[in-house]
Amino acid sequence: MTEAASPISAAPDYASMFAGLDAMFETGRTTSLSWRAEQLSALERMMVECEQELMDALKSDLGKHPQEAWATEISYVAAEAAYSRKNLKRWARRRKVPTPMVGQPGKSWLQPEPLGVVLIMGAWNYPLQLVLAGLAAAISAGNCAVLKPSELAPATSDIIARLVPEYLDSKCIKVVEGAVPETTALLELAWDHILYTGGGNVGRIVMAAAAKHLTPVTLELGGKSPCVVMPDADLPTTARRIAWGKFTNAGQTCIAPDYLLVDAETEKKLVPLLQQAVTEMFGENPEASESYGRIVNDRHFDRLTELIGSGDVAIGGQSNAESRYIAPTVLTGVSADSLVMQEEIFGPILPILRAGDLEASIRFIRASDKPLAAYIFTRDSTAEARFLEKVSSGSACINDTMMFMTVDELPFGGVGPSGMGNYSGEYGFRTFSHMKAVMKRGWWPDFAVRYAPFTARKFKLLRKLR
């Protein structure tokens, strides 16, 4: 462990905190590859050594089963840190690019350099992963960082504030706990980059605040991720994979399938298979299952229970306000103007809409905002190619849901209203780096063709050189 200090929780003078981090960055402490590797290794170690405490916090905040907490949060952060550490030297080295004839004698390259002091603002649905995976990227690029965990997951926020100073370099990495006042105060500062994960409304506030300082932002905002099921799909497998993607974390996942588009005959076959998949995963009574989570707070519980009336309940529909339980629910008879289709659901409610064929599904999807993820289940390679060509989304997955998150070499990010910028693996390194363009010229020969006085002969020669 490196030198520790108390978290910045509730400290009023964020400007002084920021100035201290900026001064530390100017010393060059974080640019050292050995420092970056040491911090990433410590982050990995924190996930291993504090696994049970982290599981307990996630259970407290969201009712996550230890296996789900480990698979979707703890191991994800550890893997992100390990992958970044192992590839650090390759990512950080100069990248040569060709130099044209007119630039000879000379050499050209891209030289990654850290941005400086960055702000990482996480969301409550994956309160560990969405803060610390971003931190791994910021560290790999050589930055100082301030973490702002979500106050809506208080147990996880508390443990991040306690563990980060114990394991990581507290002179370069700080944690700020709090809610709107703290976030507002942080956004007044001139960060070198902001990574925000959450909803579009707050995303606009973040972007407006960043604009005052011309601070670049990465926004991960979500949206209504569509899922098309074609008649030729392997429906039993499709049902299991959709149920897993939708009801993991009680549906509180930004890349969960938000709604299904199917034809009438496929819907008739798929609904009982979804019921079977739910029963296999969570039993006859999901409320009694340790594998099924809970809604984060009363406000979201009330919002979600209102959405259940948007269609005919084919599966589930039960709820318990005291424990904030909402059963895995599937709705049929849903139309485009139903309440459940007006915003991202972000809960365990899966509406099914009728679409006559693939082209009708594509038209429906394209009429709405571009989603963070898009899914299609089919055996037809022509159908999948058409879907990928016509449906714009941050990520896409064919014949499964959410599994692109397991591929280290793929970026994670949105497009349009679902977000801007991306991170994960090398893409995270690039997000928190400036790829400085460098050219070095030789002294001789120093061709006179570019210098005045200009002549017809020089002009002719210059055209050939370009």
Residue 81, Ramachandran bin (φ over 0: left; ψ between -120 and 50: alpha; else beta): alpha
In this prediction, residue 12 has a pLDDT band, given cuts at 50, 70 and 90, of low
- Helix, strand, or coil here: 310? helix
Give pLDDT, residue 10.
40
Q: How far apart are CA 26 and CA 226, in angstroms?
A: 46
- Six token digits for residue 42: 């410590």
Give pLDDT, residue 4.
45
Q: How far apart are CA 167 and CA 145, in angstroms?
A: 14
- Six token digits for residue 374: 């898009």
| Sign of the torsion formed by the C-alpha atoms of 125, 127, 132 and 134 | positive
From the candidate CATH numbers 3.30.300.170, 2.170.190.11, 3.40.605.10, 1.20.140.160, the one assigned to the domain spanning 14-221+416-438 = 3.40.605.10
Please state, rounded to an integer, the average pLDDT across all residues of the chain: 95
- Helix, strand, or coil here: 328? coil
CATH 3.40.309.10 maps onto the chain at: 226-408
Q: With pLDDT > 70 as the criterion, what percentage of the chain qualifies?
A: 97
Q: How far apart are CA 417 and CA 324, in angstroms?
A: 29
Between 53 and 464, residue with greater pLDDT: 53
Classify each residue of 204-243 as buried b or exposed e, where b means 16 or more C-beta atoms within 10 Å of its C-beta: ebbeebbeeeebbbbbbbbbbbbbbbbbebebeebbbbbb
- pLDDT over threshold 90, residue 450: no
- Exposure of 217 in the CB half-sphere (CA atoms within 13 A): 24
| Cβ(54)–Cβ(69) below 8 Å | yes
Secondary-structure breakdown of the chain: helix, strand, coil percentages, each rounded to the nearest 5: 45, 20, 35
Q: How far apart are CA 188 and CA 210, in angstroms?
A: 8
Q: Is 89 exposed, middle or buried (0-12, 13-18, 19+ CB in 10 A)?
A: exposed
| Cβ(175)–Cβ(83) below 8 Å | no
Q: Are strands 144-148 and 117-121 parallel, antiparallel or unpaired?
A: parallel
- pLDDT over threshold 80, residue 183: yes
In this prediction, residue 13 has a pLDDT band, given cuts at 50, 70 and 90, of confident
Q: How far apart are CA 448 and CA 131, in angstroms?
A: 55
Nearest to 25 by CA among 190, 226, 161: 190
Q: How does DSSP classify residue 367?
A: T
Query: What is the strand order of the sheet 395-398 is part of?
Result: 312-315, 329-332, 349-354, 259-262, 226-229, 373-377, 395-398
In this prediction, residue 5 has a pLDDT band, given cuts at 50, 70 and 90, of very low
Give pLDDT, residue 9.
42
| Mean pLDDT value of segment 313-331 | 97
CA distances from 54 to 71, 175, 290 (A): 12, 16, 17
Q: Are strands 106-114 and 95-97 parallel, antiparallel or unpaired?
A: antiparallel
Nearest to 75 by CA among 118, 44, 42: 44
CATH 3.40.605.10 maps onto the chain at: 14-221+416-438
Q: With pLDDT > 90 as the criterion, what percentage of the chain qualifies?
A: 93
- pLDDT over threshold 60, residue 8: no
Q: How far apart are CA 401 and CA 245, in angstroms?
A: 5
pLDDT tens, residue by residue, 233-292: 999 999 999 999 999 999 999 999 999 999 999 999 999 999 999 999 999 999 999 999
Nearest to 328 by CA among 243, 406, 407: 243
CA distances from 424 to 11, 84, 409 (A): 31, 9, 8
Provide the annotated active-site residues.
220, 254
Q: How far apart are CA 136 and CA 370, in angstroms?
A: 28
Residue 293, Ramachandran bin (φ over 0: left; ψ between -120 and 50: alpha; else beta): beta
Q: How far apart are CA 382 and CA 360, in angstroms?
A: 16
- CATH superfamily of the 226-408 domain: Aldehyde Dehydrogenase; Chain A, domain 2 (3.40.309.10)
- pLDDT over threshold 80, residue 7: no
Dihedrals phi, psi of 293, to nearest 5 degrees: -85, -170
| Mean pLDDT value of segment 132-153 | 97
- pLDDT over threshold 50, residue 11: no
pTM score, whole prediction:
0.93
Q: Write out the H or E segment, with its range, that includes residue 255.
A: none
| Mean pLDDT value of segment 432-455 | 93
Give pLDDT, residue 6.
40
Match 């819907």 to its residue by tokens: 267
pLDDT tens, residue by residue, 416-437: 999 999 999 999 999 999 999 9
Give pLDDT, residue 323.
97
Match 């500062």 to its residue by tokens: 189
pLDDT tens, residue by residue, 186-227: 999 999 999 999 999 999 999 999 999 999 999 999 899 999
Dihedrals phi, psi of 388, to nearest 5 degrees: -65, -35
Angle between the 75-92 and 33-49 helix axes, to the nearest 10 degrees? 170
| Mean pLDDT value of segment 371-379 | 97
Give pLDDT, residue 240.
98
Q: Are strands 117-121 and 193-197 parallel, antiparallel or unpaired?
A: parallel
